Amino acid sequence: MGESSSATEIFRLLSDETRVDILCAIAVAQSELEQAGSGPAELAFSDIYDHVDVENTSKLSYHLGELTGTYLRKSDEGYSLSHAGERIVRFILSGNYEQPESFGPEPVDGMCVFCGEEALETRLSHQFFRIDCAACDQQVAGQPITPAQVRDRTAEALIRSVKLQGAEDYRQVRRGLCPECGAQLSAEVLGLPESPLPDADSFLVTSQCDACLRTYNSPLTYSVAYHPASIAFYWDHGIDVTTKGIWEFHEYVYDGRWASEQVASDPDEYEALMQHGEDTLRLRLDSSATVTATERVRRESREF
């Protein structure tokens, strides 16, 4: 192949059971052959032939030829999965095309950002992990989830995995890396005068991926929650924010411990403030939501 193929041509290559079997067999054979510390094994034609139920070597040779370029790479040592091959095979093997098992409603710790009640419930809705407030009926958090993530996990383990994934995604987004496809994100800060969030944080950071079109939105303070300065600030106060879910920050915004404001125009600059006891961490952000300076202030009495 070599020249770029259309999406339909690429998927047509997979509308053949033997080819899907070949791709999965390569992943199975690789996991059997891989030595700890070495990269993915490249498989010789005979290794693949041993693992696939195909009539004869010329049939296998034909299918390998069709898959090479898009789903497989071929070198002198043998065959290995390409990026597209990896994505498709891991997707198939993990069963992520299946419907996830139902889950919830389960009570979950945390405060509602809208009404301040501690009455949060989590459940799966249309393959989305969502948290709603049972007191005011508003959704307070939502995150895509995979069927493999739900499978074989207790409620507690699932919630822990969602926290971890949310934190990892936020860190990548803050660094401009699209968690979905790896392309560069462009971010901007938007003022939200009609924000449903408390007045303390009425700015939204929106990060757009021009490659896969995913958009990631977060209140300005949340966008810096996993910045090294924030992690260190809370760590010094005995709190590990890297294990916290996004919804566990709601109480900080609800009671004004977290706040944001615009501090300069043309070019626009913003400040996120995080208060803990008598200490405050200030993070200065530019118009692309990049942190340009941080400062800790002690015993400052602030009016939020």
Nearer to Zn ion, 84 or 232 (CB): 84
- Residue 261 CB neighbour total at 10 angstroms: 15
State the Cα–Cα distance between residues 203 and 208, nearest whole angstrom. Answer: 16
Nearer to Zn ion, 137 or 156 (CB): 137
Shortest gap between Cβ of 104 and Zn ion (angstroms)? Answer: 17
Contact map string, positions 140 to 179, toward Zn ion, x by CB under 5 A: --------------------------------------x-
Cis before 105 (ω within 30): yes
Residue 134 lies near Zn ion (rule: CB under 5 A): no
Q: Alpha helix (H) ranges present in the chain?
A: 7-12, 17-33, 45-51, 57-67, 83-93, 147-150, 155-174, 220-223, 228-236, 250-254
User: Contact with Zn ion (CB under 5 A): which of 24, 92, 93, 115?
Assistant: 115
Residue 136 lies near Zn ion (rule: CB under 5 A): yes
User: Contact with Zn ion (CB under 5 A): which of 48, 209, 273, 283?
Assistant: 209
- Residue 264 CB neighbour total at 10 angstroms: 12
- Contact residues for 225 (Cβ-Cβ < 8 A; gap 6+): 170, 241, 244, 246, 249
Q: Which residues of 20-57 are buried (b: 16+ CB within 10 A; e: fewer)?
A: bebbbbbbebbeeeeeeeeeebbbeeebbbebbebeee
Three-class SS state of 217: strand
Shortest gap between Cβ of 185 and Zn ion (angstroms)? Answer: 7
State the Cα–Cα distance between residues 83 and 125, nearest whole angstrom. Answer: 30
Task: Write out the DSSP string of 224-278.
Answer: TTTSHHHHHHHHHTT--GGG--GGGGHHHHHTTSEEEEEEETTTTEEEEEEEETT
Q: Which stretch binds Zn ion (CB under 5 A): 7-15, 24-32, 57-65, 105-113?
A: 105-113
State the Cα–Cα distance between residues 57 and 93, nearest whole angstrom. Answer: 25
Contact map string, positions 27 to 66, toward Zn ion, x by CB under 5 A: ----------------------------------------
User: Contact with Zn ion (CB under 5 A): which of 28, 157, 183, 293?
Assistant: 183
Tokens of 63: 């299918």
Nearer to Zn ion, 44 or 181 (CB): 181
Nearer to Zn ion, 211 or 239 (CB): 211
Residue 225 lies near Zn ion (rule: CB under 5 A): no
Nearer to Zn ion, 112 or 283 (CB): 112
Q: Which stretch binds Zn ion (CB under 5 A): 75-83, 128-136, 256-264, 286-294?
A: 128-136
Shortest gap between Cβ of 214 and Zn ion (angstroms)? Answer: 5
User: Contact with Zn ion (CB under 5 A): which of 21, 106, 180, 261?
Assistant: 180
Q: How many helices (H) and strands (E) does the chain have?
A: 10, 13
Count of residues that bind Zn ion according to CB under 5 A: 14
User: Contact with Zn ion (CB under 5 A): which of 52, 112, 145, 162?
Assistant: 112
> Which stretches of the chain bind Zn ion, using CB under 5 A?
112, 114-115, 133, 135-136, 178, 180-181, 183, 209, 211-212, 214
